[in-house]
Amino acid sequence: MPASIKLQEEYGDTVQVVFVAVQGETPQQAQAFALKKKWLGGRAMWTSERPFDTGLKGIPATVLVSSAGDVLFVEYPIESKLKDLIEEDLKAKEKGPKDAPDPVRKAWAEFGKGNWGKAVKGEAALTQRHADALAKLNGEDLKAERDAATALSKLEKKLYANGPEDSSCKALEAFAEKYGGTKAGDRAKYLDSLLH
């Protein structure tokens, strides 16, 4: 397992690992490769679109971008150096922007601690938007999508943990048929296409 996936697991939602396939693979080829290696199913993201040129001549190369969008590191992977830079960035992130007004800095600090409720407390417009979004998501018209998404997550978990098995295609095809017309059904068809 690549060190970057281990870092993603260790830091959870506080960091985002994005893998970029750079050898001319199509997005489907990159995902099929990652699926076979059992690298899917976590929080890491995959793409074949280069956001920028690192200037390095070999692979794998690592770029670390701060919470503020600044490039902190461009080099070949050095896990200990990356961890030190991530820790420094996370500490700076908790303080928030230096030029922000005090109420924003206080809310920022609460977000940084994971206290989202405290951060938005008293913000009536945001709270109403949140309530409206929850009502829509929990509405009857999205029940089929919710049920399909729940079922697919169980199927994907097994697929990502075990890698492609002989029964994987049949399971995905049966799922796509059962949940046809849902986004999860479409996702099952796509995953099935990666296995062929």
Residue identified by tokens 């998501």 is 137
Beta strands 71-75 and 62-65, pairing class? antiparallel
Residue identified by tokens 């048929």 is 177
Q: What pLDDT is recorded for position 72?
A: 87
Query: What confidence tens digit (pLDDT) does each residue in 155-178 have?
Result: 999 998 888 888 999 999 999 999
Burial 13-41 (b: 16+ CB within 10 A, else e): eebebebbbeeeeeeeebbbebbeeebbe
CA distances to 48, 114, 115 from 145, rounded to whole Å, are 28, 28, 29
The whole-angstrom separation of Cα 143 and Cα 153 is 15
Q: How confident is the model at residue 186 (pLDDT cuts 50, 70, 90)?
A: very high
Q: Average pLDDT of 90-110?
A: 76
Q: How confident is the model at residue 50 (pLDDT cuts 50, 70, 90)?
A: confident
DSSP string spanning 11-49? HGGG---EEE--SS--HHHHHHHHHHTT--SSS-EEESS
Q: Average pLDDT of 54-59?
A: 82
Q: What pLDDT is recorded for position 52?
A: 79
- Tokens representing residue 72 in the block: 């902190």
Query: What confidence tens digit (pLDDT) does each residue in 70-92 have?
Result: 888 888 877 778 888 888 888 87
SS3 73: strand
Which one, of 170, 171, 178, 144, lies nearest residue 156 by Cα? 171
Beta strands in 51-137 (DSSP E): 62-65, 71-75
Q: What pLDDT is recorded for position 127?
A: 67
Enumerate residues 6+ apart whose C-beta is below 8 A from 123. none
Q: Which amino acid is residue 122, in one-letter code?
A: G
Determine contact, residues 72/53, Cβ cutoff 8 Å.
Answer: no
Query: What confidence tens digit (pLDDT) does each residue in 172-185 have?
Result: 999 999 999 999 99
Q: Average pLDDT of 141-149?
A: 93
Whether the pLDDT of residue 144 is over 90: the answer is: yes
Whether the pLDDT of residue 102 is over 90: the answer is: no
- Tokens representing residue 45 in the block: 């993201």
Widest CA span of the chain, in angstroms? 58
